[in-house]
Structure 1
Amino acid sequence: MEVTTVERLFQTLDETASLLEKELDCTYLDALIETGENVFQNKVLQPDVSEMTVKRLEKAYDEINRMSYTREDIRKAFQLACLKGMRKNVQPHHQMTPDTIGFLLSYLIGKFLNEKRTFTILDIAVGTGNLLTTILNQLPNSSLKAYGVELDELLIKIAYVNANLQEHSIQLYNQDSLKPLLIDPVDLVVSDLPVGYYPNKFLSEPFELTSSHDHSFIHYLMIEQGMKYTKPGGYLFFIIPNNLFEGSESKQLHTFIKKHLHIQALFQLPSTMFKDGRLGKSILILQKNGEGVKPPKEVLLANLPSLKDKDAVESIMVKINRWFMENKREA
């Protein structure tokens, strides 16, 4: 059976990372960062590896240089290597957004921004950069200025190498996303929202969505932070837990959204995408208030079917296109 370009790239990244993992006595993910940087710089940068290993690495990198591949090939191969590393060293916040969601977000961004050619985009929980680079790869005809914020040092190093290998210019900030950002408001905020309680009560106090009696929900605070860094009339695309608007705290969220934003659409993702139905997610699309910005005649609501059900998918696409025609989307 013929080996695909993605498989060949993954095999090379995997083999070279495994070599460096042993030589440098580090984790697989740290070694993947090292080998990714070597590929980008086109040389072996580690001074402490043996001459034999240097030769093996150089041979492998030379094979990559001779290959013909796309940005998506690199992203997918690097993603596979990341997933292998995360399985070796599992941490709950080291989760990657599935490609299907990234492709769907990209399609919806194109529709809502009306195929706008130039805009700025911020991922306020960029992680490994997989979601952000998926979006950039799916909108090749647009000129995007991209930003990403991530507190986890390992994840942002992966995002840095990931962006370099795909030749995407992304400004990355290694900091708590809820602290002030040195970023001008953008046209579009995206995020696969982290879910849970935010431990820093002092930092959460100035937020409208801070909890008055306990630790605040980090996913609420991230929505508010995203809103602050969105231009008037700009959009926010969040991957949210299905139960976001449930519970006693949700009244505060409803009030906040009504004050500052318009809900444009809510898509519940198919349960087949999640091993545990209780961990199901949706895509929430918001627009920030601004001069001339009006709410839609009706919010676009849809339960998305399994992508294997072609007839159901086609029916949903017709519904989405009809909604855009009726609401006369203007970017």
Structure 2
Amino acid sequence: MTPIERLFTLFDQTALILQEELQCTYLEAVAETGENVFHGDVLQEEVSELNKKRLKNEYKQIQLDRFTNEEVRKAFQLAVLKGMKEHTQPHHQMTPDAVSLFMSYLVGQFTANHFALTILDPAVGTANLLTAVLNHLPRKQVKSYGIDVDDLLMKVAYVNANLQKHPVHFFNQDSLQPLFVDHADVVICDLPVGYYPNDDNASRFILKGESGHSYAHHLFIEQSVHYTKEGGYLFFLIPNSLFTSDQAPQLHAFLKEHTVIQGLLQLPLSMFKNEQAAKSIFILQKKGIHVKAPKKALLIELPKFSNKQAMKAMMHKIDEWLATEKKGL
């Protein structure tokens, strides 16, 4: 059994016991068992003495310190994915792992000269993307913020970060309301796509819809730019249809005024059920005194992540592009 399999089995088996005992969903039970693993104890008073013993016995067999952060993240992610399949809601979708890892590589490369960083994920979900990025910035001092309106996802995110020993500041709120966070050097966000129901709040934004509901993903971009430092980077996972919608001209004008486009990396279409669902990684830099537009933006169609040779060549190409453009970064 691999370390990831061993850990997943622990999360899964103990979550099933708690699901039965607490009469809750599997996803809620995963959050509860994750909290127990972190504390090395059974925190739920409703659990029978017999099951308390069983659970404590299971927890004792695993010492978290013997696992890497990535092993913990991947094992916990598998349990969360199982829970999401049973309990699907449109916004309960996790960023694919290969994309999270590739985003963490990009963040690392673009911030290579930063010793200390502040990172914000305004749609943090279960914190899988955020913790993947944090796990790949080992030699930096990082302060991170995660925001989500969904209280169950927030509980999962908090447990996930604890298990990986990342001191993330979490806020359970509507990310499009005023935020109580430091301005960030880096924003990462798998953009929630769809309409934003709060027209009253949307009216504060430049990118509000002309009539009817506004696009949530446009407002998230504006909010993210607002909370980024001058010269800071934004890494968005965007739908490929972002620039062909009826409100695309306003978005284009906003981006031109406030940001510099560093790159657009199209994810392999094979990752998605259909072409309409396809996404890209969009890299922006907020304008500032020393910010120069790249001579040539990084425009790339990524190969399949499973094609190691092609990915290696592509990363080499990105590194070369960065080395050439870095004088202006």
TM class by shorter chain equals: over 0.9
1:78 aligns with 2:69: no
The residue number in structure 2 matching 1:57 is 55
**1:311 deviation in Å?**
4.0
Aligned length: 329
**1:275 deviation in Å?**
2.2
Q: Which amino acid aligns with 1:153?
A: D
The residue number in structure 2 matching 1:239 is 237
* Structure 2 contact 241–276 (Cα < 8 Å) conserved: no
- The residue matched to 2:243 in structure 1 has which SS? coil
**1:330 deviation in Å?**
6.0
TM-score if structure 1 supplies the norm length? Answer: 0.96
* Structure 1 contact 113–330 (Cα < 8 Å) conserved: no
* Structure 1 contact 114–329 (Cα < 8 Å) conserved: no
Distance 1:47 1:308, change over 3 A: closer
Where do 5+ consecutive residues of structure 1 fail to align?
none
Please point out which of 36, 39, 51 is paired with 1:38.
36
CA distance in 2, matches of 1:311, 1:159: 34
Deviation per CA, 1:19-65, whole angstroms, max 9, x where unpaired? 01101111111111111111111111111111110110000000112
Q: Which amino acid aligns with 1:317?
A: M
The residue number in structure 1 matching 2:261 is 263
Please point out which of 246, 252, 255 is paired with 1:254.
252
CA distance in 1, matches of 2:46, 2:157: 25
Please point out which of 280, 283, 287 is paired with 2:281.
283
4+ runs deviating over 6 angstroms: none
The residue number in structure 2 matching 1:304 is 302
1:132 aligns with 2:140: no
**1:318 deviation in Å?**
3.2
- The residue matched to 1:244 in structure 2 has which SS? helix
- The residue matched to 1:243 in structure 2 has which SS? helix
**1:112 deviation in Å?**
1.1
The residue number in structure 2 matching 1:193 is 191
What's the RMSD between the two structures over aligned residues?
Answer: 1.3
Query: Percent same amino acid at aligned positions?
Result: 53
* Structure 2 contact 101–133 (Cα < 8 Å) conserved: yes
CA distance in 1, matches of 2:276, 2:230: 35
Q: Which amino acid aligns with 1:13?
A: F
**1:115 deviation in Å?**
4.5
Please point out which of 168, 180, 201 is paired with 1:182.
180
- The residue matched to 2:283 in structure 1 has which SS? strand
**1:291 deviation in Å?**
0.9
Deviation per CA, 1:213-268, whole angstroms, max 9, x where unpaired? 12110000000000010000101100000111112210001100011000000000
- The residue matched to 2:62 in structure 1 has which SS? helix
CA distance in 2, matches of 1:67, 1:18: 24
* Structure 2 contact 108–136 (Cα < 8 Å) conserved: no
Q: Which amino acid aligns with 2:317?
A: K
